[in-house]
Homo-oligomer: A and B are copies of this chain.
Amino acid sequence: MIGKVSTAEAVFIHLKKLIVGGELKPGDALPSERELQATLGVSRISLREGLARMSALGLISVAHGKGAVVSKDINIGSVADALLPLGFLKEGEHLEELYAARIMIESELAALAAVCRTEEQLQALDENMEQMGDRLGDEESFVELDLEFHRIIEDAAGNRFLSLMHRAIEGPVASLVTMHGASRESREKALERHARIMSAIKAKDASMARELARKHLLESKG
């Protein structure tokens, strides 16, 4: 009996194969539930549970009264949900793994931002740093501005896949990022490092931006 899957799972696998196999292309409308139910020879319940799985993963999008269509793009929310158990990590190696991934992503975002950034984004970074300078004494505001700094860079990088991973990771490691209890001196140093990263991005020096971002995160970690 090992290997047996439930009917709902079978429906899910079947539909997924149709999409992967190219029989159902992005944007295509699925047959109606009654029709699928008859074609696949399953009950409405199993059919709908299979559809629920598809929908949860963002593979299809269903609308009441209209029908279901194959998604054209990944659903960031779904991916983030699937990565949700990462938040359970408290200490130890798993958290280290996640942190390593974060450094990799952040530094690559900085490198890409150095290439793609617009003048508006440079200005946004400037404003952000100015505000950070004003809030050196306000820990909470500083932390929030710190996160915003990296979010601006993420936006400037213009890579949807990296943005997705960045956001999925941001939550779980937020507790680490937030330098809570850090000294004013450490905040001054962080702002200084931000300035250097910003300079590299402004100068379109991708390698420099990447390395500075990496060092920044490594140093702000301890």
Q: What residues make up the interface of A, taking CB atoms closer than 8 Å to B?
A: 6, 8, 12, 16, 19-20, 25-26, 45, 48-50, 52-59, 64, 71-75, 78-79, 81-88, 94, 97-98, 100-101, 104-105, 108, 112, 158-162, 165, 169
Q: Contact check, A72 vs B84: say whether CB atoms are below 8 A apart.
A: no
* Cα(A57)–Cα(B57), bound, Å: 7
Among residues of B, the one whose C-beta sits closest to the C-beta of A161 is: B101
* Bound Cα distance from A46 to B112, whole angstroms: 44
Give Cα A126–Cα B8 distance, bound, in whole angstroms.
Answer: 45
Whole-angstrom distance between the Cβ of A158 and the nearest chain B Cβ: 8
From B8, B52, B75, A82 is in contact (CB under 8 Å) with B75
Q: State how many angstroms separate the Cβ of A46 from the closest Cβ of chain B.
A: 10
> Once the chains bind, are B53 and A56 in contact (CB under 8 Å)?
yes
How many Å from the CB of A56 to the closest CB on chain B?
4
Tell me the nearest residue of chain B to A83, going by C-beta: B74
9 contacts between A and B (CB under 8 A): A45-B48, A53-B53, A57-B81, A57-B84, A58-B82, A74-B83, A79-B79, A97-B160, A101-B165
Expressed in whole angstroms, the Cα–Cα distance for A86 and B176 within the complex equals 30
Contact assessment for B85 and A16 in the assembled complex, using a CB-CB cutoff below 8 Å: no
List the B side residues contacting A108 at CB < 8 Å.
100-101, 104
Q: For the complex, what is the distance from the CA of A57 to the CA of B101, rounded to whole Å?
A: 21
